[in-house]
């Protein structure tokens, strides 16, 4: 690690940290034992949404603290929680239609298509576009385009129309997964077989084998080619 | 960032051998070779990394030093610290842990008529489940069967697995995939609905189901959304870890003491049945290894359960995932999904030569990487002194067509892209990283422990995977056993009558420590890792 430290400002307070660290590791280096604003530390959970600004630039930048390397003079604050609304629903009572989206999230139609959400997304998702898809009732398109969403809430935090985009997105993904995606026939058949006990005897037989016999079967098993 | 000049030289050698390697298959190791490499290089076999636990019901069992120290800690509480009559939540089922197992348990407990409190240390969904990329196994194709899956699991676990638990795992697997689909999970499919399945290490059939490389995240966010659909039946408490289990005067588990992490306030939950689903312990960094695990994976649940007398199983075996990121330093230890190898990427040393088949089981694969770097000196050095081997990701687009990597591994492309590495064109540098706690608390097929009314589910448990877990069987385990424990706990709660609540077991614990001459250096569960003023 380089010996030279750089200044960063955590909620306005200066700390000197090694320049190779991510924002999260830099906060720990500075002495924070994190409770909020830390989760998987691998860019999947959305706990560590962070807003920052660089010296001489008025623009706000966004990033995940676990995935963004510090820069000299960075001013930062975390947004570990955003009070966006999740509509009350039970998936099995819904239909996969535009009407469902509009009923649960009527503010959907207030979207201005300004694109602030897209700029704010640390996952590079085109949030503006999937909101447009939602306004057209294209649930499949929303589900597909929003798939990499980690629900960090930065889109909602920056939205001038006060949308909760990520909650609309998960509703669409669940509607798609349950109602619209083509069904896997082989899965339904296997479920039926298991419930009817078709495989019980075969498993029971293996359970009854000695370790030596089981080992023999294992080493001799055929392997499906790539 | 991107690669150093020295690393680029090595990459050239990887590129030079690639055309020939495309038609080569490195032979799988024989059983004897596997045994030898494990015993010589796997961290589980490093004797000085383990010791026996000196107190408790499973006294004498071996486990990593770091875990033994936490297990033998003092409690945060004394038996008379709190007035247990002042109950904050009175419920049928208490679920401790907000990952995939806890969420599954809560959903099934509610469905079976229970009022549920789900409490979690960080946010609901902050869990290793969220990070599992590769997939979930289930034998649902015509050329596959639960019996073939059973054989793979037993072999992968070195035949030490508990057969009944494996039976439950493989037979429930297709049911769980259907359940998740009905909850709205978007698994990868062909246009006609056929589920896309691929191989994983140690599988004899292609039975790994995925949701791009966000498989665990897709399952977790779906389960979490489902739990949140029933706020009148399931109370969710975030940032409120359990710090001790409560018993009653009949020796039954009767709930837990929680601590509000932000205010320090203690909360008493009285529950007819308690399900502990707190996950694993990678953040204890056994033998100094980096980890793929979530920040909260500090082994809290095994500590809690052990103090009330639950038995341990297989805690002397941990899984080191062969492909942790070794470079760049910012993502050291981060999981590189096994799906990369599943899609055909081979592994090469500094000379660009293969040295192991990419589809060995995780323990064997990891041991081969360690041997290549430590014994043979053919690893690639990084500026921070780490070593690694190449995982040749660009092969995937050559084998399956351009665009496959972006479509199948968007998370990986993004992770490395943030640091200037394009994995569609350049290989990734990898080295084993601490990934999974193979063992834990012993359980039966319904998740019951030997302590009345105490259940476990998920990574905290021990027995399903024997001495090594196969890829895709942890997302399966958390859903299979989360559901089983949730259902069983809800049904059992209808029969339970609780006596007077007590923490007297803490006095007993302190006595045992004293009698064994153990002088704990720490208070446990530790709840949060301490990374302050360090770099990790």
- pLDDT tens digits for range B107-134: 999 999 999 999 999 999 999 999 988 8
Mean per-residue pLDDT for B24-30? 95
Between CA B531 and CA B3 the distance in angstroms is: 27
Mean per-residue pLDDT for B517-527? 97
Residue-wise pLDDT for B240-276, tens only, equals 999 999 999 999 999 999 999 999 999 999 999 999 9
Distance from CA of B160 to the nearest CA of A (A): 9
Instruction: Assess whether pLDDT exceeds 50 at residue A210.
Output: yes
Q: What is the pLDDT of residue B422?
A: 96
Structure ipTM: 0.97
Task: Specify which residues B274 forms β-bridges with.
Answer: B94, B454
Closest CA to B197 of B177, B182, B175, B170: B177
Residues 6+ apart with CB under 8 A from B514: none
Of the candidates A86, A147, A176, the beta carbon closest to that of B228 is on A86
Between CA B182 and CA B191 the distance in angstroms is: 18
Residue-wise pLDDT for A122-143, tens only, equals 999 999 999 999 999 999 999 9
Of the candidates B126, B184, B239, the beta carbon closest to that of A175 is on B184
Contacts of B210 in chain A (CB under 8 A): none
Collapse the DSSP code of A218 into the 3-class scheme (helix H, G, I; strand E, B; otherwise coil) and give the result: helix
Contacts of A68 in chain B (CB under 8 A): 418
Contacts of B142 in chain A (CB under 8 A): 186
Mean per-residue pLDDT for B319-345? 91
Residues 6+ apart with CB under 8 A from A187: B140, B174, B177, B178, B181, B195
Q: Predicted confidence band at B166 (pLDDT cuts at 50, 70, 90)?
A: very high
Task: Specify which residues B523 forms β-bridges with.
Answer: B74
Of the candidates A18, A191, A202, the beta carbon closest to that of B174 is on A191
In which region does residue A46 sit, left (phi positive, over 0), alpha (psi from -120 to 50) or beta (all else)? left
Distance from CA of A76 to the nearest CA of B (A): 18
Catalytic residue among B224, B266, B294, B321: B321
Sign of CA dihedral A208, A209, A215, A219: negative
Residue with tokens 């998936």: A91
Residue-wise pLDDT for B384-397, tens only, equals 888 999 999 999 99
Q: Is B341 a catalytic residue?
A: yes
Instruction: Assess whether pLDDT exceeds 70 at residue A164.
Output: yes
Of the candidates B164, B214, B334, the beta carbon closest to that of A147 is on B214
Q: What is the pLDDT of residue B535?
A: 63
Q: Is B321 a catalytic residue?
A: yes
Q: What is the pLDDT of residue B536?
A: 55
Residue-wise pLDDT for B288-297, tens only, equals 899 999 999 9
Residues 6+ apart with CB under 8 A from A39: A45, A46, A47, A48, A66, B122, B123, B126, B130, B294, B295, B296
Q: Say if residue B220 is exposed, middle or buried (CB neighbours under 10 Å; 0-12, 13-18, 19+).
A: buried
φ and ψ at B94, to 5 degrees? -105, 125
Contacts of B189 in chain A (CB under 8 A): 181-182, 184
| Residue of chain B with shortest Cα separation from A183 | B193
Residue-wise pLDDT for B30-77, tens only, equals 999 999 999 999 999 999 999 999 999 999 999 999 999 999 999 999
Share of chain B above pLDDT 90, in %: 91
Exposure string (b/e) for B248-272, b if CB count within 10 Å is 16 or more? beeebbbbbbbbebeeeebbbbbbb
Residue-wise pLDDT for A59-72, tens only, equals 999 999 998 999 99
Between CA B140 and CA B149 the distance in angstroms is: 10
Between CA B481 and CA B101 the distance in angstroms is: 7
Mean per-residue pLDDT for B221-227? 98
Q: What is the pLDDT of residue B1?
A: 56
Structure tokens given for B262: 């932000």
Instruction: Assess whether pLDDT exceeds 50 at residue A1.
Output: no
Residue-wise pLDDT for B145-159, tens only, equals 999 999 999 999 999
Residue with tokens 């380089």: A2
Distance from CA of B412 to the nearest CA of A (A): 10
Contacts of B414 in chain A (CB under 8 A): 43, 123-124, 148
Between CA B323 and CA A188 the distance in angstroms is: 34
Strands (E), chain A: 6-10, 13-17, 49-53, 61-64, 75-78
Instruction: Assess whether pLDDT exceeds 60 at residue A2.
Output: no
The C-alpha torsion from B72 through B77 and B79 to B85, rounded to 10°, is -140
Q: Rounded to the nearest 5 degrees, what angle is found at the Cα of B323, between the Cα atoms of B321 and B328?
A: 125
Instruction: Assess whether pLDDT exceeds 50 at residue B416.
Output: yes
Higher-pLDDT residue of A188, B535: A188
Between CA B446 and CA B99 the distance in angstroms is: 18
Per the CB < 8 A criterion, the answer to whether B58 and B83 are in contact is: no
Q: Say if residue B233 is exposed, middle or buried (CB neighbours under 10 Å; 0-12, 13-18, 19+).
A: middle
Give, rounded to a whole angstrom, the gap between the first and last alpha carbons of chain B: 19
The C-alpha torsion from A196 through A198 and A199 to A201, rounded to 10°, is 110
Q: How far is CA B195 from the centre of its chain?
A: 24
Residue with tokens 């499919």: B189
Mean per-residue pLDDT for B409-416? 90
| Beta pairing class for A49-53 and A75-78 | antiparallel
Higher-pLDDT residue of B534, A73: A73
């Amino acid at each position: 690690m380089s010996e030279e430290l750089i200044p960063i400002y955590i909620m306005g307070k200066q700390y000197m940290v090694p320049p190779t660290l991510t924002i999260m590791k830099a906060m720990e280096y500075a002495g924070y034992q994190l409770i909020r604003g830390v989760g998987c530390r691998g860019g999947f959970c959305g706990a560590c949404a962070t807003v920052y600004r660089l010296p001489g630039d008025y623009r706000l930048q966004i990033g995940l603290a676990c995935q963004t390397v510090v820069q000299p003079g960075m001013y930062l604050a975390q947004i570990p929680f955003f009070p966006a609304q999740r509509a009350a629903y039970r998936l099995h009572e819904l239909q996969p239609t535009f009407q469902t989206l509009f009923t649960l999230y009527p503010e959907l139609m207030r979207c201005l298509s300004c694109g602030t959400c897209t700029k704010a997304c640390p996952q590079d998702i085109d949030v503006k576009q999937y909101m447009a898809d939602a306004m057209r009732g294209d649930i499949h398109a929303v589900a597909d385009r929003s798939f990499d969403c980690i629900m960090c809430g930065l889109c909602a935090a920056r939205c001038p129309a006060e949308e909760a985009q990520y909650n609309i997105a998960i509703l669409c993904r669940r509607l798609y997964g349950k109602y619209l995606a083509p069904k896997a026939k082989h899965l339904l058949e296997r479920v039926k077989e298991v419930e009817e006990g078709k495989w019980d005897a075969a498993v029971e037989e293996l359970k009854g084998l000695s370790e030596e016999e089981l080992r023999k079967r294992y080493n001799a098993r055929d392997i499906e080619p790539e | 960032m991107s690669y150093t000049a020295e690393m680029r030289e090595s990459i050239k050698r990887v590129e030079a051998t690639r055309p020939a390697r495309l038609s080569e298959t490195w032979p799988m190791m024989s059983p004897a070779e596997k045994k030898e490499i494990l015993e010589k290089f796997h961290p589980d076999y490093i004797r000085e990394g383990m010791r026996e636990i000196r107190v408790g019901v499973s006294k004498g069992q071996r486990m990593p030093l770091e875990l033994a120290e936490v297990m033998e800690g003092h409690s945060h509480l004394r038996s008379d610290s709190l007035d247990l009559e002042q109950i904050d939540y009175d419920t049928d089922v208490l679920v401790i842990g907000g990952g995939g197992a806890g969420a599954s348990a809560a959903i099934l407990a509610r469905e079976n008529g229970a009022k549920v409190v789900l409490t979690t240390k960080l946010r609901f969904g902050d869990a290793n489940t969220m990070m599992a990329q590769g997939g979930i196994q289930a034998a649902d194709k015509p050329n596959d069967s639960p019996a073939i899956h059973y054989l793979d699991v037993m072999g992968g676990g070195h035949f030490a697995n508990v057969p009944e638990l494996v039976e439950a795992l493989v037979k429930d697997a297709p049911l769980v995939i259907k359940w998740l689909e009905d909850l709205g999970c978007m698994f990868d499919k062909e246009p006609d609905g056929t589920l896309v399945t691929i191989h994983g290490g140690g599988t004899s059939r292609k039975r790994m189901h995925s949701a791009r490389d966000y498989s665990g995240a897709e399952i977790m966010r779906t389960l979490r959304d489902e739990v949140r659909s029933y706020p009148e039946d399931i109370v969710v408490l975030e940032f409120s870890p359990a710090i001790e289990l409560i018993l009653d005067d009949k020796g039954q588990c009767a709930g837990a003491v929680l601590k509000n992490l932000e205010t320090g306030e203690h909360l008493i939950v009285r529950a007819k049945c308690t399900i502990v689903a707190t996950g694993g312990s990678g953040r204890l960094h056994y033998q100094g290894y980096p980890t793929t695990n979530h920040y909260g994976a500090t082994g809290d649940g095994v500590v809690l359960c052990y103090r009330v007398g639950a038995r341990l199983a297989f805690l002397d075996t941990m899984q080191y995932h062969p492909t942790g990121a070794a470079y760049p330093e910012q993502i050291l230890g981060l999981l590189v999904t096994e799906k990369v190898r599943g899609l055909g990427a081979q592994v090469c040393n500094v000379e660009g030569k293969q040295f192991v088949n990419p589809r060995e089981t995780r323990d064997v694969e990891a041991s081969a990487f360690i041997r290549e770097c430590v014994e043979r000196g053919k690893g690639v050095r990084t500026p921070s002194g780490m070593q690694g081997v190449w995982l040749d990701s660009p092969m995937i687009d050559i084998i399956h067509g351009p665009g496959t990597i972006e479509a199948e591994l968007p998370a990986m492309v993004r992770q490395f892209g943030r640091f200037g590495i394009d994995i569609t064109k350049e290989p990734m540098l990898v080295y084993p990283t601490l990934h999974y706690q193979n063992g834990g608390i012993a359980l039966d097929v319904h998740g019951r422990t030997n302590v009345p009314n105490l259940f476990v589910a998920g990574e905290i448990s021990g027995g399903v995977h024997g001495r090594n877990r196969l890829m895709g069987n942890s997302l399966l385990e958390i859903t299979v056993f989360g559901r089983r424990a949730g259902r069983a706990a809800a049904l059992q709660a209808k029969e339970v009558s609780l006596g007077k609540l007590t923490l007297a077991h803490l006095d007993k614990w302190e006595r045992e420590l004293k009698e064994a001459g153990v002088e704990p250096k720490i208070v446990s569960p530790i709840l949060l890792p301490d990374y302050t003023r360090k770099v990790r």
